[in-house]
Structure 1
């Protein structure tokens, strides 16, 4: 994801402790504050910190809560720096509708028993988990969504990675509520699984669907400057190096479309474009559609989700998987190979260049199967390795939810028809996977990305308030 595509999240931080300790144990407060400074140093590279400092009674917790509300935080990290009663937590988060992450983090890997000569020494460095069950109990009773991270401040790489993941999810939360999902056209007619209640999407995720018109993109094409066109051509050549058959004029035309969609995203402050064209294809509209797939692939590379067939739900899933693992390409179940026990998974249209382990290519097609127009197909070449398949769907109650599975891309022949596709094996086997994947009603579109992200998706389920169903053996 590019820096331009991702606004910096606002991360609330606070340490909690029992106020009566400070007068009883000399030096303890300073030790707690030092540990909190070290914790904030781990978080600060990943977002804009909103620091409430040390909270040790209900009054200071209320002040912390006012600060977090005023600064519009996306996430609150609460460091359990020593024992603290829950009055230090609840007033700070009662009015917030953001995830709370309790940090059960010791200053060191273990107590140095030889140096723990007094109660204050112990309370300042080794009692962080004591109030954790109390805090989780009251958060549950308040109906707050929360997570728990346990670790230490002595170069704990697992803790650092978890903190970074939560900050990336906070970035996604901010994107979804401060940027819009652009809708060009309408969902593919008859694909009723793609239809959604946009008001319910706004209610659950804060995501606004901005209905735009194809003529606006044509107008952006007419406004592209020579410098913008040249930059678009350079991006296309970088992403599609195996496209030597294209002439300079063809690259220039595609560069204009690429620059136009980039201008369109900036003008309307978009985090995604879900699009589908259905109608007469002529003139400038024909030029636009011909190069739209490679242009939208450039946006995918930059962290702007661009699914075809105007699927809005899968745009959110693409943003999520890209946030967690750096790659997210549109995918559906293509074919089954019972001999090799694999599913062929792929999709036509724009893809994510990050999925390709070989030079990507463009190929002209005289028809977009089942759709209007003709133009360039984008083919990326996924390589072997662990992958996650993710879908966002909508239940009978109208609520959105996540369905995911972990598998592995394996070597073998794939379709060479201009579409991106891969051979994916799942641990429960082909038959069971297809059945178990389909039963929750994930819609026919999903997203495929490198890496196993069950733990990250569990955190995302909390951050986005989206129930998660893992399709596992």
Structure 2
């Protein structure tokens, strides 16, 4: 059974795209007289390198950098094209002073590719071959300049034609793409955050300065007016799509489904209108408003499946890291730890009713159910119920430590093929940490990991590590 395809979003902030990377090849005029045509020869090597990595990213290859003006012009062009990062490749030895200003002043994430045209030293080499392949000491010179300048950058050493090299560039490119997306992100908050929830609180200006997300408050009344103004055809189209995508509970009335659909479409319209790629709602902000019949549970699930970041209770940190999970590895899923199960050495994961059904089991159809929910004091919210797909998974929690200091707590493990819990009417699964429940939770709590987090399928701790290095935040594997 295949998972349904979510309705397409018109919001550029959530449309999936490939990393767009600039390749900055560095050399110098010193060798022109010794090897006529060396610039063209090494420019062709840079093009071959980009073509060999065409499955990893979309590449913009700058002309070979032979001086400071070339470097600064190329970086301006990369930034003007709104690329996601810069991969620096030594075409020959290039003195760092000529590129230091450009690379230390750019807002784009940087990686230094320590590679060379030929993978092996050969007995047939002459001085020309030595010159073509001498990038290693240019990499050392440039890396030294970046370290002294306090620039966060990645290093990728290897044979540029190998699968391992491509995999490492792919990891860095996705991390750079995610860091760049976070720097452009707006997080919509409907109403206000949950009172008393300390681990979700953050200095919004420090968050903006360090990682980039901007918090955009949306009044619940705006959502109510937007719901009322939606065309009937849009509501009918969404209901028809749900009929084909889910096993729809017959107890759900037409009124309940139409009201839920209007909430989902209204939220999406406001997020698109305000340029928000992530959002958060709090049940009290909706319930106490007095104009809404129910909470938007199913809406959160399908909007996550479309690529929006989401978190409950006004948690902009968690909404941002769910958004980052979408960009970094695909299908970020908002969840929290509900209870420990010591016999299976696992943790029951769930939330009130929101969850990205793109991480659902493929052998069970997700259900759109009528379910009672006392929280919020409103009528029954239609909820998408599913169990998590068994297999490797990774949890990540974004922690605010005060000021511009942030930490990402990351746990790899496995979603178990655990028994069904028939009375649990919200998305759920059991996660067994690779370090075991006791070891993982001891370390999680000591690191200050929050109770809201993103889950992604697969073991992607190393992906998160590269992102932390590029963003300049702490990485805490548990």
Q: TM-score normalised to the size of structure 2?
A: 0.88
* Equivalent runs, 1:62-461 vs 2, <5 Å: 62-110=72-120, 113=122, 116-124=124-132, 126-154=133-161, 156-241=162-247, 243=249, 245-247=251-253, 250-278=256-284, 281=287, 285-287=291-293, 289-290=294-295, 292-357=296-361, 358-369=364-375, 374-397=380-403, 399-416=405-422, 417-461=424-468
Local SS of the residue matching 2:440: helix
How far off its partner does 1:261 sit?
2.0
Local SS of the residue matching 1:89: helix
Matches of 2:299 and 2:290, distance apart in 1: 15
How far off its partner does 1:276 sit?
0.7
Matches of 2:358 and 2:71, distance apart in 1: 44
How far off its partner does 1:413 sit?
2.3
Local SS of the residue matching 2:47: helix
- Pairing 1:13–2:19 present: no
Local SS of the residue matching 2:334: strand
When the two structures are aligned, how many residues end up with a matched partner? 465
Query: Quick one: which of 69, 93, 107 aligns to 1:59?
Result: 69
Distance 1:263 1:71, change over 3 A: same
Distance 1:448 1:12, change over 3 A: same
How far off its partner does 1:48 sit?
6.5
Is the Cα contact below 8 Å between 1:386 and 1:408 reproduced in 2?
yes
How far off its partner does 1:250 sit?
4.3
Is the Cα contact below 8 Å between 2:286 and 2:376 reproduced in 1?
no
Q: Deviations over 1:360-379 (max 9, x none)?
A: 12222232447655312332
Moved more, 80-89 or 350-359: 80-89
Moved more, 216-225 or 450-459: 216-225
How far off its partner does 1:278 sit?
1.6
Local SS of the residue matching 2:173: helix
Q: Deviations over 1:114-142 (max 9, x none)?
A: 6x442112332x33333222222110001
How far off its partner does 1:467 sit?
1.4
Moved more, 58-67 or 141-150: 58-67
Is the Cα contact below 8 Å between 1:14 and 1:77 reproduced in 2?
yes
Q: TM-score normalised to the size of structure 1?
A: 0.89
How far off its partner does 1:298 sit?
1.4
Distance 1:283 1:43, change over 3 A: same
Matches of 2:32 and 2:347, distance apart in 1: 62
Matches of 2:240 and 2:119, distance apart in 1: 50
How far off its partner does 1:94 sit?
2.8
Q: Deviations over 1:316-350 (max 9, x none)?
A: 11112222221222222211222222222222232
Say what the alpha-carbon RMSD is for the aligned residues: 2.8
Matches of 1:167 and 1:227, distance apart in 2: 41
Is the Cα contact below 8 Å between 1:38 and 1:153 reproduced in 2?
no
Distance 1:281 1:455, change over 3 A: closer
How far off its partner does 1:398 sit?
5.1
How far off its partner does 1:10 sit?
5.4
How far off its partner does 1:352 sit?
0.7
Matches of 1:324 and 1:202, distance apart in 2: 20
Local SS of the residue matching 1:94: helix
Distance 1:38 1:209, change over 3 A: same
Is the Cα contact below 8 Å between 1:57 and 1:87 reproduced in 2?
no
How far off its partner does 1:221 sit?
1.3
Q: Which protein has greater RCO, CA pairs closer than 8 Å, 6+ apart?
A: 2
Matches of 2:71 and 2:168, distance apart in 1: 25
Distance 1:284 1:159, change over 3 A: farther
How far off its partner does 1:419 sit?
2.0
Matches of 2:210 and 2:289, distance apart in 1: 40
Matches of 1:285 and 1:165, distance apart in 2: 46
Is the Cα contact below 8 Å between 1:235 and 1:298 reproduced in 2?
no
Q: Deviations over 1:218-255 (max 9, x none)?
A: 22212222332233224434543354554555444433
Moved more, 369-378 or 41-50: 41-50
Distance 1:174 1:18, change over 3 A: same
Unaligned runs of 5+ in 1: none
Matches of 1:263 and 1:284, distance apart in 2: 21
Query: Quick one: which of 16, 28, 33 aligns to 1:23?
Result: 33
Q: Deviations over 1:346-401 (max 9, x none)?
A: 22232111110132122222324476553123322112211111000111455222
Distance 1:371 1:403, change over 3 A: farther
Is the Cα contact below 8 Å between 1:28 and 1:121 reproduced in 2?
no
